[in-house]
Structure 1
């Protein structure tokens, strides 16, 4: 049975408009006026109003007595459902494995815990001489690339940082441990908020912290991770 192509196109356009309107509530918190929604989406007010009727009926949008539009309880329920299924390790471990296999060096994910850095996930090459840190290890915030990233980007969002690029990568050699050299870059998640540091480390003198290839690889993986974790990176 042949499907009418125009019907498919209209359905896709309707879905795109629905998501475009809901995405207009991302970023700055609080309500939106009809004028703001028109500016943010590029849609006519009459079109937005038609969609709002459906959103209100299904609990995705709430309109107050002043005519302002707020996100509704159904959006909160979706967020909680996402949190329940969200597991950073399922996203980050394949990325660490890929970095380790591509470079032959150790790859890690660190998060900040006050004045400490915690190794959440790890991928290490199968060789005798390597940088070895077990997942779960708690280390002080010091002068290493990982620590510098955790301090510099803690509490920040993508709006504060700007686009991730190889120049975002922080490099250190001989810091914390004279045998350690490392490259580190921030990655982001839901709400475009900073989550942690993605780090590539090796033996000082063998691991080239000036390597453009390593910096590009690390940046590409940080962008990929951030997208998968929910950050709004184009």
Structure 2
């Protein structure tokens, strides 16, 4: 059987990177692929150009949001049922509901649902990007990672409570609540991306009700993805 060597290496690289959720260096990836580092850099640059991988602060590489986009095309059941869960969450909390994913040092919105019976809504769109350490969505993702000496008090509290609550970090007056989505390690690369689910509102948010609803939705999404 004839195969394209460059494409084969790129796909193998994605599979290897998926096994290192905290990132892998280009040098280590080159050793895993058994190729010269210069070749590995070209593979990495190509994958990065298509957002399939992303660099983190120390230069290591991880899966990028492009992998999630491919995954969403492969998982119509998850897309449909996930959107249904988001709509239910939005209506229960009377707030904009969302699912976000980590990409390098950023948090990117993958899916959004608006409540049906509210006049004032937060403009949170698919593709919205903000720093991972600002806002409830990113902090909830960071709280899912192992303890680190650099963890902020917000991350520590979110890890203890099971959800993150922030006020005015991304938009004046906006209240955000989010919970991380824990995924089985044996799932495919597209679903190993770090995700969170949450809600955001300008005012009038019942934070106690919203926190419980967000955590319940996170568990439902975990069961949906595992199934």
Q: TM-score, normalised by structure 2?
A: 0.53
2:93 maps to which of 95, 103, 128: 103
Q: Match for residue 108 of structure 2?
A: 118
- TM-score normalised by L of structure 1: 0.52
Shift of 1:85: 4.6
Return the offset for 1:83.
Answer: 9.7
The structure with the larger Rg is 1
- 1:115–1:141 contact (8 Å) kept in structure 2: yes
Deviation at 1:86, TM superposition (A): 2.7
Which residues of 2 match residues 1-234 of structure 1 at below 5 A? 85-87=74-76, 88-126=78-116, 127-154=118-145, 167-191=161-185, 195-203=194-202, 205-209=203-207, 211=208, 213-230=209-226
Shift of 1:198: 0.3
Mapped contact 1:108–1:119 kept (Cα < 8 A): yes
Is the 1:188–1:194 Cα contact (8 Å) retained in structure 2?
Answer: no
Deviates more, 1:141-150 or 1:179-188: 141-150
- Closer, same or farther: CA 229–166 of 1 in aligned 2, 3 Å: farther
Q: Is the 8 A contact 1:186 1:222 kept in 2?
A: yes
| Greater Cα shift, 121-130 or 146-155 | 146-155
How big is the shift at 1:189?
A: 2.8
- Aligned residue pairs total 140
Q: 1:36 maps to which residue? A: none
Residue 190 of structure 1, CA deviation: 3.7
Question: Gapped runs of 5+ residues in structure 1?
Answer: 1-81, 157-164
Q: Which residue of 2 aligns with 1:29?
A: none
CA contact (8 A) 1:153 1:194 kept: no
How far apart, CA to CA, are the structure 2 residues paired with 1:172 and 1:84? 32
Pick closer, same or farther for the CA change 1:166–1:140 going to 2, 3 Å: closer
Larger relative contact order, structure 1 or 2 (CA cutoff 8 Å, min sep 6) = 2
The two structures, once aligned, show a CA RMSD in angstroms of 3.1
Query: Structure 1 CA distance, aligned partners of 2:72 and 2:133?
Result: 32
Q: Secondary structure at the match of 1:139?
A: strand
Deviations 1:107-147 (A, max 9, x none): 00000111111110000124441111111222232431112
Give CA deviations for 1:162-210 in whole Å, capped at 9, x if unaligned: xxx993011111222222101100112342766301011111x42233x
1:118, 1:219 → 2: CA distance? 20
Change in Cα spacing, 1:171 to 1:201, as seen in structure 2 (3 Å) is same
CA distance in 2 between partners of 1:176 and 1:102 (Å):
23
